[in-house]
Each structure stands twice: as structure tokens, then as C-alpha cells.
Amino acid sequence: MKQTLKQEILDKRKKLDQKSIEDKNKKIKNRIYSIPEFKKSKNILFYVSLKNEVNTYELIKELLNEKEKTVLVPYVLRNNPIMQVSELHNFEELEPKSFDILEPKDNSIREFNPGKIDLVIVPGVVFDLTGHRIGYGYAYYDRFLKTLKQKPIKIGLAYDFQIVDKIPEEQHDIPMDIILTEERAIECNQK
């Protein structure tokens, strides 16, 4: 069931036209800026978007220019199942690496203490109203979030059609606190 749902949503996402994507991304970016959890966060870990994911490039670039928040990005080390975190100073410090995702170039890695992260922007393919998600199947975010003693706010970004009422959850799943789409901000109730 999870795999079928995941494929169905990925297919829908692939069919989005460029204008629709831009409109949806702009609304989601405005929604991010408007929520109190984002406004009061200082150290923010962003996923660096790939293909038709909710785009994080513009948001990252704007925040790098403003210099009011610390922009953090993940990277993966070979044979290490736990995602690493690097402080980003310039978008040009990124290059395609694991799974073709932009990660810091080797000479641009600035390790950052994950315990100081206030907020994590999390990717996903499908989210439900309780904050559970279906990712790409590698569990990097779930494993990483489990290692943190200080629990940052977790925000999932999705297009509204990626939201379903309920998905089957697994023991290792870490639910989101908030999900933002172009249509709404969902405060996740994990009860």
C-alpha cells in the first residue's frame, strides 16, 4: 500500500507544469516566512530540493543573503547511515553528490552541532494529517532526527495533493510537527 501510494503521488508530481510549480512554491515560501516557529528559529536545517520537490533553493538563497539565520544543509558520508550537517555560507558551495542531491563540496563542509538546530525542513513524498510521512525509502531523516537529544521543530513541505488522511506508520517514523502546503498549514496532532 505504501509503495503504491508513493508511486501515485510521485507520478502526480512529475506531471506538474512549470507555471503551477512556481505558483505553488511561491505560496509555500510565503507560508514558511509567516509562521511563528520559523520566525523565532535561528539555526535551520533545510533539505536541498531535487526535481519536482517543493523547491527550497530560493528560500535558502534569500536567507543566506539576509544573514539573520544560520542555514544548514545535510550531507551523507559513504557507509554512514546517519546524515551529517554543514553550515552553508554560499549556494555556490553546493554540488551534486549522493542521489544527485546538492551537498556541500568537500572543501566547503563546516560541521555544525546538530544539538543546536532549532528547526528542520523535511522532504517527503506523502504526508498524513498526523505528521507521518513516506519519504524516498532511505530513512536518512528519521535516523538523524532520532539521534537528537534536543528536539527541533520539524516542518514537512508538500504540495496539497501530497497530503492524505492516514498512512501506515512504522516504528522508526518520526512525525512532523507542521506540514506546509500552498493551501494550508497543518498543525499535526499525533494522538
Q: Is the pLDDT of residue 164 over 50?
A: yes
pLDDT per position as a tens digit, 100-143: 999 999 999 999 999 999 999 999 999 999 999 999 878 899 99
- What radius of gyration, in Å, describes the C-alpha atoms of the chain? 16
pLDDT band at 1 (very low <50, low <70, confident <90, very high): confident
Give me the pLDDT at residue 190, please.
57
Mean pLDDT value of segment 78-103: 93
Distance between CA atoms of residues 70 and 64, nearest Å? 8
Give me the pLDDT at residue 34, please.
96
CATH superfamily of 2-187: NagB/RpiA/CoA transferase-like (3.40.50.10420)
Per domain, the residue ranges of the chain are 2-187
Q: What angle do CA 20, 25, 26 make, to 5 degrees?
A: 100
